[in-house]
Structure 1
Amino acid sequence: MSAPLIAGVELGGTKVICVLASGPNDVRERVQIPTTTPDETLGAVEDVLRRWSGYDALGVASFGPVSLDRSDANYGFITATTKPGWSDTDVGLRLAKIAGVPFGFDSDVNGAALGEGRWGAAHDVEDHAYITVGTGVGVGLVLHGAPVAGMTHAELGHIRPVRMTGDAWRGSCAFHGDCVEGLVSGTAIRARTGTAAQDLAANDPAWETVAHTLAQLCHMVVLTGIPRRIVMGGGVMVGVPQLLPEIRARLVASLGGYVAAPGLMPIDRFVVPAELGGMAGPLGAVQLGVLALERD
């Protein structure tokens, strides 16, 4: 039986990627659209969905925060976002009306987590976490092959970590100051050092704080009891080869032997780099469509 053909939409803060695909080896078309105003952006996505034909389902992975409670009147909406003009915007239901097929909707981070779980670095485990470290920090949790959500989706990038001894920088998060995102995101690194993460020297002392803070985030994720693997991606993780080994070492030290699950070791098989790059989100949207078909 052939895999279903899915229209996948990853709605990001700067661009939208639409794919017509059944998987990474069968991408029929890829369309990129700039994220401007809601009507202009979503109108362009609607034009793509009208032009495409023959797809079995629609999957939408959106920047957020987003409403994921199917019983809420605002299900499928972007809620109180910091992106100007996008708060209280209907994304999921608006696009679903155009597509006229079963549809799945989730956060962009959960979408990327699903992509890495189906075709990427966590394809051989059923339960995993995906951590993206870029302009912001997000965590997607996947349990038994499906994204975890309750009242809302996870916002674990905004937990408050144990600070590194001697580090009193106030952080850059507009809401929480020195949460994980406020300490290690690309925005935070630039605010702290005056240099973009991709241009920061590999031996800059700021990376020590980044590694410490991300190890604290991984410590918390491990203690949820969910992931059999942690996949780490995003622009800050790319091009800094010493960062992942340092995170692993600091995670082991932080856990202090408390978690004795056999899957935790060797640590370089538990905390791993993402494999799908920029296609994790669009392919995750495809997987959301697959899950919608299974659900409906």
Structure 2
Amino acid sequence: MYYGALEAGGTKMVCAIGDENKNIIDRISIPTDTPDQSVPVMIDYFKKHNISALGIGTFGPANVNQNSPSYGTILKSPKKAWEGFNFYKTFSEALKCLVVVDTDVNAAAWGEFLFGALKGLRSGMYLTIGTGIGGGVIADGHLIHGMMHPETGHILIPRRDGDGTPCSCRFHQNCAEGLAAGPMLERRTGMKGKDIPADSPVWDLEAYYIAEALVNYTMCYSVERIVLGGGVMSNEFLFPMIRKYYTELLSGYIDMPQVKNPDTYIVPAKLEGNQGIIGAMNLF
């Protein structure tokens, strides 16, 4: 018996096959083009392995309410070609198997909860900071859903005095994604994040905005740990900067041992970039 997993990201689609114990034994990666280009390749891959179930973690916004008639549909998205595409209907009809759809960041949070930095806890959050910002939240051992899913990248945060660079989000002027994701780093410096020197002053501003967002997540979700991943967070020097600003901004309001030790409260992901595909494999 084989199982399938799909991590549908903004730049690439990762497809994987798991054995009867859901250990990944094969995978492919293809570019995220249009549905007409990408989907037939993925369906052929899963058909070849005759899978019994498929877990999909997709970029959002997406309808992940299993009781909705449009379950599995991509909603208003920066990826215009994918707006209205229904992952659930397309893959369940093509593969004739169980299909479960959630967001890519929820899948990643689930992977970290089962096998990574959130293992052994009852609550936690995974936040990816890269081309965009998104997060999955776990409470009492379950992923949080609502009318759709948390849009953690689009919480509104105060701008630091003196920061007048136009926000990179086309919907908001001061959301976390628009102020701290990769495109804003490039807008501020003219360089890709990976090329910005570690001593650039832009990193201090980046750490400040991330810390602002994390304080809000602590207040709203009361999680036991926050895990940070994504391309921006491959710059490990950001962690102590974020923790410093987090502690300052929290101002001692939360009197709990977890937040009093930010080194163990705000931590890097453990699954080496595989948390999304591992989580998707375990959504069903």
TM-score after normalising by structure 1: 0.91
Tell me the distance in 1 between the aligned counterparts of 2:93 and 2:139. Answer: 29
Q: 1:193 to 1:244 in 2, by over 3 A?
A: same
1:84 equivalenced with 2:84 (yes/no): no
Q: After the TM superposition, which residues 265-280 of structure 1 pair with which residues of structure 2 at under 5 Å, given as runs? A: 265-280=260-275
For residue 207 of structure 1, what is the aligned residue in structure 2? 203
1:46 equivalenced with 2:67 (yes/no): no
Shift of 1:156: 1.5
Partner SS for 1:276: coil
Tell me the distance in 2 between the aligned counterparts of 1:164 and 1:154. Answer: 25
Aligned length: 284
Partner SS for 1:212: helix
Q: 1:160 to 1:38 in 2, by over 3 A?
A: same
Shift of 1:35: 1.6
Shift of 1:232: 0.2
Structure 1 letter corresponding to 2:139: L
Name which of 54, 60, 82 aligns with 2:56: 60
**Does the 8 Å contact 1:24/1:119 carry over to 2?**
no
Name which of 95, 100, 113 aligns with 1:117: 113
**Does the 8 Å contact 1:92/1:105 carry over to 2?**
yes
Q: 1:258 to 1:5 in 2, by over 3 A?
A: farther
Q: CA RMSD in A?
A: 1.8
Shift of 1:225: 3.5
Q: After the TM superposition, which residues 1-296 of structure 1 pair with which residues of structure 2 at under 5 Å, given as runs? A: 5-21=2-18, 26-53=23-50, 55-238=51-234, 240-289=235-284
Partner SS for 1:231: strand
Shift of 1:5: 4.9
Q: 1:24 to 1:221 in 2, by over 3 A?
A: farther
Shift of 1:146: 2.3
Partner SS for 2:82: coil
Q: 1:269 to 1:17 in 2, by over 3 A?
A: same
Shift of 1:158: 1.1
Tell me the distance in 2 between the aligned counterparts of 1:124 and 1:56. Answer: 29
Runs of 4+ that moved beyond 6 A? none
Q: 1:24 to 1:204 in 2, by over 3 A?
A: farther
Tell me the distance in 1 between the aligned counterparts of 2:258 and 2:206. Answer: 25
Moved more, 151-160 or 212-221: 151-160
Partner SS for 1:224: helix
Tell me the distance in 1 between the aligned counterparts of 2:24 and 2:254. Answer: 41
Q: Deviations over 1:140-190 (max 9, x none)?
A: 111233221101211121112122222222211111133111111111100
Tell me the distance in 1 between the aligned counterparts of 2:62 and 2:45. Answer: 23
Q: Deviations over 1:18-70 (max 9, x none)?
A: 111259993211111222111221111111121113x4421000011100122
Structure 1 letter corresponding to 2:122: E
For residue 292 of structure 1, what is the aligned residue in structure 2? none
Give the gaps of 5 or more residues in structure 1.
290-296
**Does the 8 Å contact 1:23/1:283 carry over to 2?**
no
Tell me the distance in 2 between the aligned counterparts of 1:252 and 1:166. Answer: 22
Q: Deviations over 1:73-128 (max 9, x none)?
A: 21101111111311100112211223333332111111111111111111121211
TM-score after normalising by structure 2: 0.94
